Amino acid sequence: MSTAADQLQIRHLTPRIGSEITSDVETLLSGRVAAQIRATLEQRGVVFFRGLQITDEQQVAIARTLGTVVAGEGQDGIYKISLDDTVNQRAKYLKGSLFWHFDGSLQPYPNLATLLRGVTLSDTGGQTEFCNTYAAYDDLPQPEKDRIAGLRVVHSAERSQYYVTPEMSYDEIAFWQKSATKECPVVWTHRSGRRSLLLGATADYVQGMPVEQSRALLARLRDWATQPQYVYRHEWRVGDLLIWDNTGTMHRALPYAADSGRLMHRTILAGEEPLR
């Protein structure tokens, strides 16, 4: 049963994105505040619980109150985010996380949300930045909205790897080209009627547009969406649990050393809504 005591304490960090929620592990595990958290996530793009200091099992249990945990990523719903290839064999792929992106851009449905817990931090760098792609779309001048309505972008793993390894060998290119590409609209019209922008490091080119024009447009929209008024930068403390609405934000990690020891535990919630 929901009681007045379950009203969450929510503090907005910037006008357009990012809120700190104060709660305790028992309340979060009970699921009583799950609907409130989901609503806050959709409005604020990213929320966090400072220094919650939970276990992996508790992280997955909290995730289950919010949606459907994607099995198959990592062990029992926990995937280790590290740039150290002795910790995560896909460390090279994860270097793409230093560039603006949303998760699951190559999947049939983008993920609904991601939970990330700070286990070990780097001494320098390693903050995570988020931008609100609902707010960025809303603020576009009407002629720009008209110009991009209906445009479709091809996303590929190969494209995002050029950020990590600008001079890929033939074998490297052939490897990344084995991953299927995915076509996404630039403007996602959600069931709620709200619209967000879908851009990011996997965005390769706009269908049917000359390549120079297409790259320039994608860069211009990214510049727009990542202006300071749409961005929240999270300065991690050990034990923080952070959740982002992956359908209305992009994110990136600021650079940190692969051998810094930085380790995040990630749990992903499955997408609930197809792109259209």
Find the shortest distance in angstroms from Cβ 219 to Mn ion. 20
Single out the residue of 33, 113, 116, 269 in contact with ligand OGA (rule: CB under 6 A). 116
Q: Is 226 in the site for ligand OGA (CB under 6 A)?
A: no
Read off the tokens for 160: 């995002």
Of all helices (H) and strands (E), which one includes residue 28?
A: helix 25-30
x/- map, 188-207, Mn ion, by CB under 5 A: --------------------
Q: Which residue is nearest to Mn ion (CB)?
A: 103
Backbone phi, psi, residue 12, to 5°:
-80, 135
Q: Is 251 in the site for ligand OGA (CB under 6 A)?
A: yes
Find the shortest distance in angstroms from Cβ 155 to Mn ion. 14
Single out the residue of 103, 158, 204, 245 in contact with ligand OGA (rule: CB under 6 A). 103
Dist. CA 158–CA 68, nearest whole Å: 29
Beta strands in 74-175 (DSSP E): 79-81, 113-120, 128-132, 152-155
Find the shortest distance in angstroms from Cβ 248 to ligand OGA. 15
Q: Among candidates 211, 220, 200, which has minimal Cα distance to 140?
A: 220
Strand order in the sheet with 203-206: 182-185, 152-155, 203-206
Dist. CA 42–CA 113, nearest whole Å: 10
Q: Is 103 in the site for Mn ion (CB under 5 A)?
A: yes
Q: Which residue is nearest to ligand OGA (CB)?
A: 253
Find the shortest distance in angstroms from Cβ 211 to Mn ion. 26
Single out the residue of 40, 128, 156, 160 in contact with ligand OGA (rule: CB under 6 A). 128
Find the shortest distance in angstroms from Cβ 3 to ligand OGA. 34
Residue 222, CA atoms < 13 Å, CB-side half-sphere: 19
Dist. CA 171–CA 177, nearest whole Å: 10
**Residues interacting with Mn ion, by CB under 5 A?**
97, 103
**Residues interacting with ligand OGA, by CB under 6 A?**
81, 97, 103, 114, 116, 128, 251, 253, 264, 266
